[in-house]
C-alpha cells in the first residue's frame, strides 16, 4: 500500500515490469517521482532514414494543463457575464450548455485569433437556440457592441457548428 495524492488514500500499487514505474492501482497516477527519460534520440532505420525514437512519460494529474483550465474558466466567466447582462433565463443549465460548446470550440481551435467574449457569445447563442430561448444574434451583438456582419464569429460558416 502507498499513499496516492490523487485518490487521497492508501492504495495498492502496480509496478510496471518493463520500466519499473510505480503507479496507483486505483487511478493509475504515476507515484514514483524518480522517473527520468533521456529524451528523444535519432536512429537510422534499414533504409538509412533517420527516425525519432523516444517515449513520452506523462503523470496523470487533472487531465489538462493549467493554461487550458484558465482558458476554460475565462470562457465560463464571459458566458456568465453575458447571461446576466442579457437576463437570459435558465441559470446554471444554460451556462453549463454554453460552456460545453465553448470547450468544443477550444478543442477545434475555433478560439484562436478571436476575442473570448465573441466566442462565448456565439456558444451562448447556440445554447439559447437549442434551448428554444427567444434570443436573436442581434441581441448578442448589441450587448457586445459589435456588428453582426463585420466581426461576429460566423458560427453558421464554421465546420465546428455545422453539424450541431
As beta bridge partners, residue 22 has 15
CA distance 44 to 3: 43
Q: Which of 152, 153, 154 is nearest to 142 (CA)?
A: 152
53: Cα separation from own chain's centroid: 29
pLDDT in tens, 14-35: 777 666 677 787 877 777 655 5
> How much is the pLDDT for 157?
43
Section 48-69 average pLDDT: 65
Say what the pTM is: 0.55
Domains and CATH numbers, the chain: 1-33 (no CATH), 64-162 (1.10.472.10)
> How much is the pLDDT for 39?
60
79: Cα separation from own chain's centroid: 16
pLDDT in tens, 76-131: 999 999 999 998 988 889 999 999 999 999 988 888 888 999 999 999 999 999 98
Amino acid at each position: 500500500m502507498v499513499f496516492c495524492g490523487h485518490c487521497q488514500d492508501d492504495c495498492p500499487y502496480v509496478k510496471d515490469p518493463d520500466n519499473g514505474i510505480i503507479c496507483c492501482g486505483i487511478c493509475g497516477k504515476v507515484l514514483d517521482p524518480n522517473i527520468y527519460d533521456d529524451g528523444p534520440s535519432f536512429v537510422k532505420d534499414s533504409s538509412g532514414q533517420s527516425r525519432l525514437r523516444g517515449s513520452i512519460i506523462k503523470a496523470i494529474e487533472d487531465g489538462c494543463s493549467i493554461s487550458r483550465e484558465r482558458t476554460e474558466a475565462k470562457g465560463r466567466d464571459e458566458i456568465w457575464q453575458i447571461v446576466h447582462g442579457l437576463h437570459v433565463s435558465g441559470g446554471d443549465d444554460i451556462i453549463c450548455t454554453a460552456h460545453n460548446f465553448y470547450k468544443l470550440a477550444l478543442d477545434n481551435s475555433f478560439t484562436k485569433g478571436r476575442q473570448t467574449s465573441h466566442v462565448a457569445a456565439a456558444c451562448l447563442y447556440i445554447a439559447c437556440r437549442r434551448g428554444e430561448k427567444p434570443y436573436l444574434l442581434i441581441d448578442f451583438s448589441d450587448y457586445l457592441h459589435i456588428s453582426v456582419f463585420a466581426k461576429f464569429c460566423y458560427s453558421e460558416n464554421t465546420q465546428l457548428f455545422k453539424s450541431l
